Amino acid sequence: MGRVYQRILLKLSGEALMGNLGYGIDPVVVGDIAQEIAEVAATGTQVAVVVGGGNIFRGVKAASAGMDRATADYIGMIATVMNAMTLQDALEQISVPTRVQTAIAMQEVAEPYIRRKAIRHLEKGRVVVFGAGSGNPFFTTDTTAALRAAEIDAEVIFKGTKVDGIYDCDPKTNSEAHLYKTLTYAHVLTHDLRVMDSTAIALCKENSIPIIVFNLSVRGNICRAVNGESVGTIVGGSCEVS
């Protein structure tokens, strides 16, 4: 089966880069993710990436401990840039041309986010990694992923997680939990399934961008999803339990 998507956006949490470490970045895990992205890019699919920063700093957690929320969120944005640069290095180590664009100007280490420039990079076969979130406090990197996907005309958002997809309840505490094959945006919102925050889901719904939630730790899952194979849960269809 050949690829079914021309341009995708991959959402990576900071925790995805942490692996089994308690904090920071696991170079082996980052290298594995970079290799998978390289395999997707080699098929001709244009790849953009939004990274979180929770492996280094969590703005919401710091705010709950007493820090000013806006300040905490800005620190979290800087953490995402650290992750973006790490992923860029891992990709370029295996000869994948990559550009980091940040929503907060850091011209010495990355380009500023410019929509047309990002699209041009993608058209030239470069992987584009978006850092610093949306540049605004009070918004998550999930919302950033939905926003950037809409801006660059991505056909789909892939969200890599530590589980196989979206369940009707927590599979870690309930052995009877059922994995959804497909879900509507409305079902995710009304049942507060929290695969992404409500603002991100609403943005995807408004712009008809499907979200595929899958287990990032299973080797080859990104390529399988790009090729149209049944991987994880698709948000944007009808409700169906596998």
Residue type for position 203: L
Distance CA 122, CA 163 (A): 29
Residue 131 burial (10 A CB sphere; 0-12, 13-18, 19+): buried
Distance CA 75, CA 91 (A): 25
| Continuous segment of H or E residues that includes residue 11 | strand 7-12
- Of residues 142, 156, 131, the one with CA closest to residue 225: 156
Residue type for position 177: A
CA 195, chain centre distance (Å): 12
Distance CA 205, CA 199 (A): 10
User: First and final CA of the chain: distance in angstroms?
Assistant: 22
Which residue ranges make up the annotated binding site for UMP?
53, 73, 134-141
Which residue ranges make up the annotated binding site?
11-14, 53-54, 58, 73, 134-141, 161, 167, 170
For residue 51, what are the β-bridge partners? 12
Which residue ranges make up the annotated binding site for ATP?
11-14, 54, 58, 161, 167, 170
Relative orientation angle of helices 69-93 and 27-42, to the nearest 10 degrees: 70
